[in-house]
Amino acid sequence: MTNSLINKSIFLAASRETVWSYLTEEEKLALWFHPADADLVKGRDYALIQQADDGTETKICWGDVLSMQKPSSLVYTFTVKPLNGAMTTVSWTLEEIHGGTKLSLKHEGIGEAAKDVAFGPLMALDKGWDEHLAKLRSTAT
């Protein structure tokens, strides 16, 4: 599935520096995406986690931070359990616009990672990004 690229953009009434902090800082990731095990740092792995009622933590998604150009771009590998560890790539671009920020997401490699069953994960990730970006819009502005 070579056409399995997810592209999304939203406009936020916040500076690029503020939006950047929501993409990279542990406590702010928890407000709109998932709790993180630490701040995102170039060259390091990351995990977004879920805590069960009994206190145990499980990884929801994880990968490695490939590049960071504060406050304009962030790229990391990304996987979730249904992909069985196969990595995809998420790229964020932050553009300063009149009084705010245009945030663009590009999520690629889903078809290659999920192979013959790619449509299910593609639909789930597409819906998930919509929900998380809506939370980011209400949280970061």
pLDDT at residue number 107: 96
The verdict on residue 32 lying in a domain is yes
User: In this structure, is residue 1 part of a structural domain?
Assistant: no
What range defines the domain where residue 77 resides?
6-140
Report the domain count for the chain: 1
Quick one: which H or E segment has residue 24? helix 16-24
Q: Per the domain annotation, does 16 fall within a domain?
A: yes
* Tokens linked to 83: 């992909």
**Which DSSP helix (H) or strand (E) runs through 79?**
strand 73-80
Q: What is the CATH number for 102?
A: 3.30.530.20
pTM attached to this predicted model: 0.92
* pLDDT values of the chain reduced to their tens digit, one per residue, 141 residues: 456 799 999 999 999 999 999 999 999 999 999 999 999 999 999 999 988 888 888 999 999 999 999 999 999 999 998 888 889 999 999 999 999 999 999 999 987 776 766 677 788 899 999 999 999 999 998
Phi and psi at residue 93, to the nearest 5°: -125, 130
Indicate whether 136 belongs to any domain. yes
